[in-house]
Structure 1
């Protein structure tokens, strides 16, 4: 089951020629999610072919570089005769302001737009096989991050062992894999634990939005497969990062190490580093042993299952 992340915008507050403000598109088996929508997000969605069929929009905070793309995106959806509702999730205390923003210039979408507020520990969205959890971040306004956490998967079914135990090929295989015992013609009972392995982990993608380094990022999910972290500055502006409630690339790498992340993507890069992100990568690699990514706008990342190589 594919899980794909498309980076729509990787710049900090000020866009550059190469980088748009914040936007992250996630596609999972036919469902499409959007995290933040800075200015120009709809054009990035056209440019990189994601389409507009998102069901959920997760807003980390209401600074312009994370939300200025919302009115235009909703208007385009309206022009395209959208009928499906859109759910928008945002930090506690921002619903009224966000609602006014959605209806800016008296533009009221013809499709339902539902805004909900979330805080640390809340499940912002529950789907059939995964959930999106909100967690506390440390920015200079009301803010949260989000973690997409898949449910555990069934253990692998040992067909050879099942046949050795006399289970006939057919419906009883499925019943055992679903966790139910089966009775054979001779009265023998075969239990699931005899032929089904331990549950296997799903995948986890964590997106911080803008934040200083926080313990909540480490605690929200076990061993994330992909951590997408604020890395606005390099070491040369560490004081500036603290003053403006952002992180450096090194600090992001320290969080990734403590969280036991598999991969780290550095985003929200300040325009002062336009075209010169070598220090970000170098400083992150000095701390983090996993894979370090500095995605460009349009970069797509496939997130495999943790046991994909087994």
Structure 2
């Protein structure tokens, strides 16, 4: 898994920095990706990556401000011309359904795939399948705004082939049962217990992607133990009052949330147009004073999210 930042600017695009969007690549076996926010120009940014619109599965919108949504109608329309036939689901605050349906209706855009739109009415789990759970919680901004916590479910441990060979277990139906975590009886009546021939399960990854926010408790709750926390840092450390006035955060606010959450890595993004590209490393350094594992996102930066496997005892 990895995340590519398609736009890292706040409010409006500037030279070298598009407005907010990021693409989360899911495990290779799934072969799809999710999009978080869709500011103007997102589809143009996607064309500079290896992501294909036909492989887009879900879109999570944090809030309805234009720098997070103006790219939606064009992107959804282009997907229909890019071979996309599988369903797409869009999640977002109340109003996202009207925004999308009105845009598509007025432009007489007909999609060749199923589009589902789910407005988030309350905090909690908004999506779950056999591989992931996504939880949404409201943040502190000028309009309703959500942050998302993506939790990958644990992967079953591998069978110990040497131990099974020693027990005289050959590949076949018994292997299948044990792989599912089920005990199995051998033809001679002996029992083979799954927990004795399987390695420990491998924990899943946790990715937290926040929308625009001033400091609040949900930035911490959503980020608890996250392998990667994506937190806005619209302003530098010397502008805390201005940040909070407009419902935003500083570099220090982001770092404080990461520390309190016990996150493993912090990526700051959503930078005000007052900051040039050459200023971003200084912004990251401000956060590193409190949280050393900090990166400042740049457009088209891809950050790997490796699975952390605890060593066996």
- TM-score, normalised by the number of residues in structure 1: 0.90
State which of 2, 5, 12 in structure 2 corresponds to 1:4: 2
Matches of 2:162 and 2:83, distance apart in 1: 53
Give the conservation status (yes or no) of the 8 Å contact 1:138–1:212: yes
> Greater CA deviation, 275-284 or 118-127?
118-127
Deviations 1:164-217 (A, max 9, x none): 4x1423132332221111223442212112122333211111100111123223
1:69 aligns with 71
Aligned partners of 1:49 and 1:22: how far apart in 2?
19
CA distance in structure 2 between the aligned counterparts of 1:137 and 1:5, rounded to whole angstroms: 22
Q: Which whole-Å CA distance do the structure 2 matches of 1:95 and 1:122 have between them?
A: 20
Q: How many residues align?
A: 306
SS at the partner of 1:272?
coil
Q: How does 1:1-310 map to 2 (within 5 A)?
A: 3-28=1-26, 29=28, 30-53=31-54, 54-80=56-82, 82-92=84-94, 94-164=96-166, 166-171=167-172, 172-220=174-222, 222-275=224-277, 276-289=279-292, 291-307=293-309
TM-score of the pair, normalised by structure 2: 0.89
1:91-117 per-residue CA deviation (whole Å, 9 max, x = no partner) reads 135433443244444445354322111
For residues 164 and 224 of structure 2, the distance between their equivalents in structure 1, rounded to whole angstroms, comes to: 32
Q: 1:278 to 1:82 in 2, by over 3 A?
A: closer
Runs of 4+ aligned residues of structure 1 deviating over 4 Å after TM superposition are none
Aligned mates of 1:309, 1:302 — CA distance in 2? 20
Is contact 2:223-2:229 (8 Å) kept?
Answer: no
* Distance (Å, rounded) in 1 between the aligned partners of 2:199 and 2:224: 21
Stretch of structure 1 that moved more, 216-225 or 194-203: 216-225
The SS at the match of 2:37 is: strand
Cα root mean square deviation, aligned: 2.2
